[in-house]
Each structure stands twice: as structure tokens, then as C-alpha cells.
Amino acid sequence: MYACRPWSGTKPAVHELDTKTRRRFAKRCKELRLAAGLSQMGVARNSEFGLSHYQRIERGELDPKLSTLLRLADIYGVSLSELLEGL
């Protein structure tokens, strides 16, 4: 049997990227997108998220989930470590 802690009624802490890191990631996405010869629409078509969602990533407005990072790395044709390089 598994031991569980009683629910405290609060959500676990969520760690969000700071603004500077989101902006560096946004810049990195744009660099990789352009190097791959893709438009923002091209990235959106090759992913499971919409154009506005991708545009918000490139503007540094979103803190993407791991599944989004993996999809972006695949679309850009790079590894996850290459995608996150320099952050």
C-alpha cells in the first residue's frame, strides 16, 4: 500500500521562467525558425498548437511546457539541448 500525504488544499509551487529567460528563449526560437527556413505559420502548421500560441512564444509571453519544447526542437531539426542552448 502507498502512503500519501493529506491534501493541504494548496497547489504545488509552479516555477515560471523569469522575463529575461523567456526573452532569450523567444530570440532563440526565432533564430532556429529562420535557420530552418520556416515562417511562423509554417511552425504552427507543423505543430499541434496555433499561430497565435507560437507568436506568443516568440514574443516571450509564454512559459512553454516540456511537450511544447520537444515539438519545437523536432520542428527546428535540433536536439532539446540545442534548443535550450544559451539560456
Give per-residue pLDDT as tens, 30-86. Answer: 999 999 999 999 999 988 889 999 999 999 999 899 999 999 999 999 999 999 998
Q: Is residue 71 part of a domain?
A: yes
Q: Residue 2: what pLDDT?
A: 41
Q: Where does the pLDDT of residue 8 fall: very low under 50, low under 70, confident under 90, or very high at 90 and above?
A: low
Task: Report yes or no on 39 lying in a domain.
Answer: yes
Three-state secondary-structure class, residue 60: coil
Q: Quote the number of domains for the chain.
A: 1
Domain contains 13: no
Give the CA distances from residue 23 to residues 6, 7, 30, 87, in Å, rounded to whole numbers and listed in that order: 39, 36, 11, 10
Determine, yes or no, domain membership for 11. Answer: no
Whether 7 is in a domain gets the answer no
- Asked if 66 and 81 touch (Cβ cutoff 8 Å), the reply is no
For residue 5, pLDDT over 70 is answered with: no
Which amino acid, residue 3? A
Q: Which residues contact 22 (CB under 8 A, 6 or more apart)?
A: 60, 61, 62, 63
Structural domain boundaries enclosing 38: 19-83
Q: Would you state the pLDDT for residue 1?
A: 44
As a whole number, mean pLDDT of residues 14-39 equals 89
Domain-located, residue 3 = no
Instruction: Give the CATH number of the domain where residue 37 resides.
Output: 1.10.260.40
